[in-house]
């Protein structure tokens, strides 16, 4: 469990001192609501990663990180439900393994991270212009080339269709529209207001001293804070009016199928672990209904699974299938959902799923990044669970609970990205 | 029951720097076993691997029988099929123990693994059992063909995968690294139960395999259990001299590349361009691991974010953060791959060649060399946080003929001359092939 302390209003430090890992892992999240500023918010971390006041180019940053025994730094955005978060990652070796003063190395590392985050390279009243221009162009390329990874592209289309009109439909990198008119000074103003006013969560896991970290981050971030502004997130669950079925065509050989179900349950709900077990029995494991019937029995797919999004509150099923066998695959999937909803679950299926979920939960507790990722979900959803309570909640789920969950699930969207079977979709190349 | 199995540990290897140690023992049938106790972790992780991968299509069992030639994709097909045994599905049995099981096929090895927080010894017994118990029927092979065909098709839709496969086809004339690990829909059509049995017999011999366990476990228990299950029976002892030890047959690969460039059109938004530099300096044993470290360090120095070349490429919009480099050395192939998405593949490739030329003329700065070495040493610690990384690194280095803990010593031994030698002799245009995927 993290020890949490308030650095300033709206800005918290969560630390987990442990000798389990040979590195210290840190993540800093700046929260914002997913909305009209999504593109600007997505741009910021890309610009931040280009250079700071003391480390003015990527080359300077990389060189400094190499000197810190190969410390690692990353900057990106994350979408959790209706939240968009700037997500800074930093990891540094525990110096005691390298014959170094561990405290000193960590302090230097945290200094570097704080410098990168809070002291961007500026020019006049804005970010350094060449960085902005180039990162606008990179972001444009990034949004355009989602199509190059067909599975990510299909997922993005599915989300856009199912959640049309809701903030959640917005892509985590924002939109192409408006990218041309981004100004370096507005962008800097935007970032400064995020740093000053928005909720910030700092997580550190490893061989660390709480007090020293607290002082260091309070110095680094304290004076930037001014006028905390809590976010107002609309997390209401929507009910589907009618089933949407959308089929789209692309140049690909395997069809990609998605089914999306609405459910008024999120990570903070008491029923969350019932939903998790439901999803696990349906398609969370190789012993699950979907894997067994769509893959092993019908030989229709290499991958087929169900997954819960506990931040937004929905369940999705995803499979890669031959384009001509859409109806067959859909029929089997719906049959398996119906069977589960009717309570047709053996005690073997239920027990194996619960064991599998407990096993993967405990395994995730062995990874600093997974521990932090659970921490930020809990921070945004304002709930905190002990590991024992999670395991208890999973173990307590019954078949009746699954039936109850089935009653709450409503099929909202079926999306199929269809390929062209039979013909070779590719030209040229070598034989 | 009733077989008394006493097995003598061969000792422990300790790393003072990492504050880790592992224990080694061998079954009477010749299986090398390693256990790294690691406390404080919930997870216990075991990996059981054979030195048999996608490139091992041609082999001889002994001098009397002739050479066998099998279709591309058998190692991977076999990996899928071992998950079915006469009792049913292996996934279900692991699920019953609360564990998760998986397997991977590479060019030179196939590994089977499980991760569990409970019932460790039962899981281990199951792992050793299912991997060593082949069971194939024409029906089950036929059904698996459909699943694997979908796996192959999925990869065919991935431009990154296509550009890489095309590159291997341009770099190599005959080496099997040209083939996709899963084979093609045509080649898997030629796989029968007989082919699978023959390959299992040839390569799934304890002497050709290794077991690695990491987590809060008692080494002695692991060793005893493996000896009980995989130790020599009396019959095997009698047959000792005729026990098959497979010999791999590799076609002789010319030094040159097969084609200087290859291009393919796909439904992509931006071109992808990969440069492949063949490394003709092939090594064995400790020298092989050293080669791997030299190649990786050289690429990190020349193309990493601290390099002038990276800055030039990034600031001129020729690469984005997806740009990557990778060096790989095995016993019978080695190459460097440099590439990513770019709007201008020609300018991208030309800039890289020019950058390498400049580096050859100017030489690599000692300060930069020292800095990157330090980074690699620090980076090694990261790999000791996750049990799955420890296991796969351990096994891949073991099959290269070296050991995981030698890494740090060997990294210290590498000199600036080693890195410059690689730059001058191998990162040259004669060894270069370029693969491009362009938008349709």
Interface test with B, best of A58, A89, A138, A148 (most B CBs within 10 A): A148
Pick from A244, A311, A294: nearest CA to A85? A311
**Nearest beta carbon to residue A359 from set B117, B157, B372:** B117
> How many other CB atoms are there within 10 angstroms of residue B1's CB atom?
3
Chain A from 116 to 145: CB within 8 A of any B CB: 130, 134, 137-138, 141-142, 144-145
Q: What is the mean pLDDT of chain B?
A: 92
**Nearest beta carbon to residue A141 from set B146, B153, B320:** B320
A75 in any annotated domain: yes
Q: Using alpha carbons only, what angle is made at residue B258 by residues B257 and B264, rounded to the nearest 5 degrees? A: 110
The reported pLDDT for the residue numbered B239 is: 65
The reported pLDDT for the residue numbered A291 is: 95
Pick from A169, A151, A145, A147: nearest CA to A159? A169
A229 in any annotated domain: no
Q: Is the dihedral of CA A337, A338, A340, A345 positive or negative?
A: negative
Q: What is the mean pLDDT of residues B373-392?
A: 91
- Which of these three, A187, A222, A257, is where a domain ends? A222
Torsion of CA A107, A113, A116, A117, to 10 degrees: -120
pLDDT band of A431, cuts 50, 70, 90 = very low
For B13-38, write each residue's pLDDT tens digit: 998 888 899 999 999 999 999 999 99
For A64-78, write each residue's pLDDT tens digit: 999 999 999 999 999
Q: In whole angstroms, what is the distance from residue B96 CA to residue A355 CA?
A: 8
**CATH C-level class of B11-248:** alpha beta
Are B83 and B90 spatial neighbours (Cβ–Cβ below 8 Å)? Answer: yes
pLDDT band of A238, cuts 50, 70, 90 = confident
* Interface contact B100-A57, CB threshold 8 A: no
The residue of chain B nearest to residue A353, with distances taken between CA atoms, is B95
**Nearest beta carbon to residue B143 from set A138, A150, A299:** A299
Are B320 and B340 spatial neighbours (Cβ–Cβ below 8 Å)? Answer: yes
A137 in any annotated domain: yes
Q: Are residues A24 and A108 in the same domain?
A: yes
Q: Is the pLDDT of residue A428 over 60?
A: no
- Residue B210's DSSP bridge partners are B32, B49
Question: Strands of A255-262's sheet, edge to edge?
Answer: A244-249, A410-418, A255-262, A314-321, A304-309
Q: Is the pLDDT of residue A216 over 70?
A: yes
Q: What DSSP letter does each residue of B215-263 carry, written as one string?
A: ES--HHHHHHHHHHHHSPPHHHHHTGGG----EE--PPPPSS-S-SEEE
Interface test with A, best of B149, B369, B375 (most A CBs within 10 A): B375
Axis-axis angle for helices A387-395, A272-283 (nearest 10)? 60
A230 in any annotated domain: no
Residue B80 at interface with chain A, using a CB cutoff of 8 Å: no
The SS3 call for residue B89 is strand
Chain B CB contacts of A57 below 8 Å = 311
The residue of chain A nearest to residue B38, with distances taken between CA atoms, is A20
The residue of chain B nearest to residue A351, with distances taken between CA atoms, is B96
Q: Is the dihedral of CA B185, B187, B192, B197 positive or negative?
A: negative
Q: What is the mean pLDDT of chain A?
A: 93
Chain A CB contacts of B308 below 8 Å = 59
Q: Are residues A218 and A255 in the same domain?
A: no
Residue B245 at interface with chain A, using a CB cutoff of 8 Å: no
Chain A CB contacts of B377 below 8 Å = 69-70, 98
**Chain A: closest CA distance from residue B163 (Å):** 10
The SS3 call for residue B375 is helix
Q: What is the 3-state secondary structure (H, E, C) of chain A?
A: CCEEEEEECCEEEEEEECCCCCEEEEEEEEEEECCCCHHHHHHHHHHHCCCECCCCCHHHHHHHHHHCCCCEEEEEEEEECCEEEEEEEEEEECHHHHCCCHHHHHHHHHHHHHHHHHCECEECCEECHHHHHHHHHHHHHHHHHHHHCHHHHHHHHHHHHHCCCCHHHCCCCCCCCCHHHCCHHHHHHHHHHHHHHCCEEEEEEECCCHHHHHHHHHHHHHCCCCCCCCCCCCCCCCCCCCCEEEEEECCCCCEEEEEEEECCCCCCCCCHHHHHHHHHHHHCCCCCHHHHHHHHHCCCCCCEEEEEECCCCEEEEEEEECHHHHHHHHHHHHHHHHHHHCCCCCHHHHHHHHHHHHHHHHHHCCCHHHHHHHHHHHHHHCCCCCHHHHHHHHHCCCHHHHHHHHHHCEEEEEEEEECCCCCCCCEECCC
Q: What is the mean pLDDT of residues B310-316?
A: 95
pLDDT band of B5, cuts 50, 70, 90 = low
The reported pLDDT for the residue numbered B114 is: 97
The reported pLDDT for the residue numbered A102 is: 86
Q: Are residues A217 and A287 in the same domain?
A: no
Q: Are residues A218 and A249 in the same domain?
A: no
Chain B CB contacts of A254 below 8 Å = 150, 153-154, 156-157
The reported pLDDT for the residue numbered B379 is: 87
Pick from B50, B165, B24, B56: nearest CA to B103? B50
Of A234-243, A279-288, B331-340, B378-387, least confident by mean pLDDT is A234-243
Q: In whole angstroms, what is the distance from residue A345 CA to residue B244 CA?
A: 47
Q: What is the mean pLDDT of residues B68-86?
A: 94
Are A376 and A29 spatial neighbours (Cβ–Cβ below 8 Å)? Answer: yes
The residue of chain A nearest to residue B375, with distances taken between CA atoms, is A70
Pick from A59, A71, A61, A52: nearest CA to A110? A71
Pick from A136, A48, A41, A52: nearest CA to A88? A48
For A388-426, write each residue's pLDDT tens digit: 999 999 999 999 999 999 999 999 999 999 977 543 333
Of A411-415, B1-5, B73-77, least confident by mean pLDDT is B1-5
* Interface contact B151-A302, CB threshold 8 A: yes
The reported pLDDT for the residue numbered A100 is: 82
Are B419 and B247 spatial neighbours (Cβ–Cβ below 8 Å)? Answer: no
pLDDT band of B238, cuts 50, 70, 90 = low
Q: Using alpha carbons only, what angle is made at residue B194 by residues B189 and B199, rounded to the nearest 5 degrees? A: 95
- Domain ranges for chain B: 11-248, 261-439
* Interface contact A352-B98, CB threshold 8 A: yes
pLDDT band of A242, cuts 50, 70, 90 = very high
B261-439 matches B11-248 in CATH topology: yes
Task: Say which of B16, B43, B79, B158 is annotated catalytic.
Answer: B79
* Domain topology for B261-439: Cytochrome Bc1 Complex; Chain A, domain 1 (3.30.830)
* Interface contact A23-B381, CB threshold 8 A: yes
Q: How far is CA B288 from CA A393, B261, B396, in A?
A: 50, 28, 12
**Chain B: closest CA distance from residue A74 (Å):** 11
Residue A20 at interface with chain B, using a CB cutoff of 8 Å: yes
Q: Is the dihedral of CA A17, A21, A24, A30 positive or negative?
A: negative
**Nearest beta carbon to residue B42 from set A18, A296, A365:** A365
The reported pLDDT for the residue numbered B110 is: 98
> How many other CB atoms are there within 10 angstroms of residue B39's CB atom?
8
Residue A355 at interface with chain B, using a CB cutoff of 8 Å: yes
- CA B293, chain centre distance (Å): 15
**Nearest beta carbon to residue A430 from set B99, B169, B311:** B169
The reported pLDDT for the residue numbered B2 is: 39
Q: How far is CA A192 from CA A31, A78, A118, A177, B70, in A?
A: 13, 19, 9, 23, 63
Q: Is the pLDDT of residue B233 over 80?
A: no
Q: Is the pLDDT of residue A194 over 60?
A: yes
User: How many structural domains comprise chain A?
Assistant: 2
Q: Using alpha carbons only, what angle is made at residue B187 by residues B186 and B188, rounded to the nearest 5 degrees? A: 95
Are B251 and B424 spatial neighbours (Cβ–Cβ below 8 Å)? Answer: no
A235 in any annotated domain: no
End-to-end CA gap in chain A = 56
Q: Are residues A203 and A59 in the same domain?
A: yes
Are B411 and B57 spatial neighbours (Cβ–Cβ below 8 Å)? Answer: no
pLDDT band of B205, cuts 50, 70, 90 = very high
A384 in any annotated domain: yes
B232 burial (CB, 10 Å; 0-12 / 13-18 / 19+) is middle
Phi/psi-derived region of residue A251, left when phi > 0, alpha when psi is between -120 and 50, beta in every other case:
beta
**Nearest beta carbon to residue A250 from set B160, B267, B381:** B267
**Nearest beta carbon to residue A253 from set B151, B157, B343:** B157
Residue B262 at interface with chain A, using a CB cutoff of 8 Å: yes
Pick from B78, B323, B74: nearest CA to B180? B74
Q: In whole angstroms, what is the distance from residue A286 CA to residue A303 CA?
A: 10
Q: Are residues A273 and A386 in the same domain?
A: yes
* Interface contact A254-B157, CB threshold 8 A: yes
pLDDT band of B242, cuts 50, 70, 90 = low
* Interface contact B97-A303, CB threshold 8 A: no
Q: How far is CA A431 from CA A361, A394, B76, B166, B403, in A?
A: 46, 52, 22, 9, 39
Q: Are residues A351 and A301 in the same domain?
A: yes
Active site residue B20: no
For B318-344, write each residue's pLDDT tens digit: 999 899 999 999 999 999 999 999 999
Residue B284 at interface with chain A, using a CB cutoff of 8 Å: no
Which range marks the domain in which residue A374 is found? Answer: 244-418
Q: Is the pLDDT of residue B289 over 50?
A: yes
pLDDT band of A98, cuts 50, 70, 90 = confident
* Interface contact A426-B96, CB threshold 8 A: no
Q: Are residues A54 and A91 in the same domain?
A: yes
For B175-202, write each residue's pLDDT tens digit: 999 999 999 999 999 999 999 999 999 9
Q: Is the dihedral of CA B105, B111, B117, B120 positive or negative?
A: positive
* Interface contact A70-B269, CB threshold 8 A: no
Pick from A156, A150, A151, A182: nearest CA to A168? A156
pLDDT band of B378, cuts 50, 70, 90 = confident
* Interface contact A69-B382, CB threshold 8 A: no
Residues 6+ apart with CB under 8 A from B78: B110, B196, B199, B200
- Residue A411's DSSP bridge partners are A261
* Interface contact A138-B375, CB threshold 8 A: no
Residue B439 at interface with chain A, using a CB cutoff of 8 Å: no
Q: Are residues A123 and A266 in the same domain?
A: no
Task: Assign residue A202 the CATH number of its domain.
Answer: 3.30.830.10
For A351-373, write each residue's pLDDT tens digit: 999 999 999 999 999 999 999 99
* Interface contact A149-B158, CB threshold 8 A: yes
Phi/psi-derived region of residue A332, left when phi > 0, alpha when psi is between -120 and 50, beta in every other case:
alpha
* Interface contact B375-A21, CB threshold 8 A: no
**Nearest beta carbon to residue B270 from set A145, A322, A356:** A145
> How many other CB atoms are there within 10 angstroms of residue A302's CB atom?
22
Chain B from 133 to 192: CB within 8 A of any A CB: 143-148, 150-151, 153-154, 156-160, 162, 166, 169-170
- Chains A and B form CB pairs within 8 A to the count of 213
For B109-121, write each residue's pLDDT tens digit: 999 999 999 999 9
The SS3 call for residue B403 is coil
């Amino acid at each position: 469990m993290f020890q949490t302390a308030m650095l300033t209003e709206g800005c918290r430090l969560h630390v987990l001192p442990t000798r389990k890992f040979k590195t210290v892992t840190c993540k800093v999240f700046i929260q914002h609501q997913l909305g009209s500023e999504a593109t600007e918010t997505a741009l910021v971390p890309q610009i931040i990663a280009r250079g700071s006041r003391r480390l003015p180019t990527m080359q300077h940053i990389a060189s400094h990180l190499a000197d810190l025994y190969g410390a690692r730094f990353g900057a990106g955005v994350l979408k959790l439900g209706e939240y968009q978060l700037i997500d800074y990652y930093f990891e540094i070796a525990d110096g005691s393994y390298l014959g170094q003063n561990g405290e000193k190395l960590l302090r230097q590392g945290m200094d570097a991270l704080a410098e990168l985050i809070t002291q961007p390279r500026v020019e006049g009243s804005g970010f350094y212009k060449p960085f902005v221009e180039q990162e606008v162009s990179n972001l444009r390329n990034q949004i355009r080339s989602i199509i190059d990874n067909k599975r990510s592209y299909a997922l993005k289309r599915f989300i856009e269709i199912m959640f049309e009109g809701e903030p959640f439909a917005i892509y985590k990198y924002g939109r192409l529209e408006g990218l041309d008119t981004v100004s370096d000074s507005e962008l800097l103003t935007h970032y400064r207001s995020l740093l000053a006013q928005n909720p910030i969560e700092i997580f550190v896991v490893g061989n660390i001293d709480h007090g020293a970290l607290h002082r260091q981050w309070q110095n680094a971030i304290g004076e930037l804070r001014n006028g905390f502004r809590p976010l107002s997130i609309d997390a209401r669950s929507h009910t589907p009016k009618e089933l949407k079925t959308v089929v789209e065509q692309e140049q690909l050989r395997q069809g990609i199928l998605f089914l999306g179900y609405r459910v008024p349950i999120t990570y903070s709900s008491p029923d969350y672990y019932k939903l998790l077990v439901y999803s696990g029995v349906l398609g969370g494991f190789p012993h699950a209904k979907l894997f067994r019937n769509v893959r092993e029995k019908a030989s229709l797919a290499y991958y087929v699974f169900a997954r819960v999004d506990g931040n937004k509150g929905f369940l999705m099923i995803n499979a890669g299938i031959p384009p001509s066998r859409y109806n067959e695959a859909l029929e089997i999937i719906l049959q398996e959902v119906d069977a589960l909803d009717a309570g047709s679950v053996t005690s073997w299926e239920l027990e194996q799923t619960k064991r599998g979920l407990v096993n993967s939960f405990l395994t995730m507790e062995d990874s600093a990044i997974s521990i932090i990722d659970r921490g930020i979900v809990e921070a945004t959803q304002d709930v905190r669970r002990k590991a024992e309570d999670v395991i208890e909640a999973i173990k307590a789920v019954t078949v009746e609970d699954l039936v109850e969950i089935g009653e709450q699930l409503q099929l909202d969207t079926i999306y199929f990205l269809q390929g062209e079977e039979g013909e070779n979709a590719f030209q040229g190349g070598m034989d | 029951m009733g077989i008394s199995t006493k097995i003598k540990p061969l000792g422990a290897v300790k790393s003072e720097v990492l504050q880790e140690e592992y224990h080694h023992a061998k079954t009477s049938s010749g299986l090398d076993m390693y256990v790294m106790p690691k406390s404080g972790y919930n997870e216990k992780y075991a990996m059981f691997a054979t030195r048999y991968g996608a490139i091992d299509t041609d082999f001889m069992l002994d001098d009397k029988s002739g050479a066998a030639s099998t279709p591309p994709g058998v190692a991977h097909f076999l990996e899928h099929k071992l998950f079915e045994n006469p009792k049913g599905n292996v996934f279900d049995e692991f699920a019953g123990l609360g564990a998760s099981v998986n397997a991977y096929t590479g060019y030179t090895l196939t590994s089977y693994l499980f991760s569990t927080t409970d019932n460790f010894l039962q899981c281990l017994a199951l792992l050793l059992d299912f991997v060593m118990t082949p069971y194939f029927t024409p029906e089950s092979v036929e059904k698996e063909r459909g699943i694997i065909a979908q796996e192959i098709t999925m990869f065919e839709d991935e431009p990154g995968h296509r550009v890489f496969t095309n590159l291997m086809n341009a770099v190599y004339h005959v080496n099997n690294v040209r083939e996709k690990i899963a084979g093609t829909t045509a080649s898997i059509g030629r796989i029968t139960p007989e082919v699978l049995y023959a390959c299992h017999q040839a390569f799934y011999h304890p002497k050709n395999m290794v077991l690695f366990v990491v987590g809060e476990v008692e080494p002695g228990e692991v060793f005893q259990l493996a000896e009980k299950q995989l130790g020599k029976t009396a019959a095997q002892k009698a047959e000792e001299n005729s026990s098959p030890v497979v010999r791999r047959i590799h076609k002789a690969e010319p030094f040159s590349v097969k084609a200087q460039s290859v291009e393919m059109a796909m439904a992509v938004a931006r071109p992808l361009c990969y440069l492949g530099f063949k490394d003709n300096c092939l090594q064995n044993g400790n020298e092989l691991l050293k080669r791997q470290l030299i190649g990786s360090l050289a690429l990190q120095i020349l193309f990493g974010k601290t390099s002038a070349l990276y800055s030039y490429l990034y600031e001129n919009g020729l690469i984005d953060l997806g740009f990557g480099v990778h060096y790989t050395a095995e016993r019978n192939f080695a190459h460097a791959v440099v590439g990513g998405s770019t709007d201008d593949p020609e300018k991208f490739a030309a800039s890289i060649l020019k950058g390498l030329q400049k580096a050859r003329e100017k030489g690599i700065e000692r300060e930069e060399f020292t800095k990157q070495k330090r980074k690699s040493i620090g980076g090694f610690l990261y790999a000791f946080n996750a049990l799955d990384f420890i296991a796969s690194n351990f096994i891949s280095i073991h099959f290269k003929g070296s050991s995981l803990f030698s890494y740090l010593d060997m990294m210290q031994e590498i000199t600036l001359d080693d890195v410059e030698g690689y730059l001058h002799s191998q990162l040259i245009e004669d060894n270069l092939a370029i693969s491009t995927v362009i938008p349709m």
